[in-house]
Amino acid sequence: MTVYEIPVRTLAGEPTTLEAYRGQVLLIVNVASRCGFTPQYEGLEALYRHHRERGFSVLGFPCDQFAHQEPGNAAEIRDFCTLTYDVTFPLFAKIEVNGRNTHPLYNFLKRAKPGILGTRAIKWNFTKFLIGRQGEVGQRYAPFVTPTVIETDLKRAFEDP
């Protein structure tokens, strides 16, 4: 199975896959609205707006597994992201990234790119995965790594066939 075939749900709850993003460079992020890293929405949106014409998307997956930092429903999440950070990149339905109910997308990402010392667990909100145009998981970034720092790797990903 590829990253593009994994079933996901839009923020509105509609079933879909990531097939529409095939051939793009992707940055997949577990997001939350009440986290110390939440201001990264601004940098993520800036990356998206700056590079989307080159075939780049940020894909946000809200997660409430870390200190109940994403308690909102889909409408509240959408409103917060739109009104507070003018987010225009795609957001998907709330998921779990660890534990028994880990979403298949995150099982795939964690298996493809384990964290430090080979750990698979997502440590906190705003862990990021950079996906190349061929669907390969290129990099995994800790929550404290800002979108600005990712810019160098992003440019390299655009150069890869």
Structural tokens at position 142: 């800790």
Dihedral angle over CA of 137, 141, 142, 146, nearest 10:
-150
Q: Is the CB of residue 123 less than 8 Å from the CB of residue 142?
A: yes
Structural tokens at position 41: 């929405």
Task: Show which residues are catalytic.
Answer: 35
Give the N- to C-terminal CA distance of the chain in Å, as an integer: 21
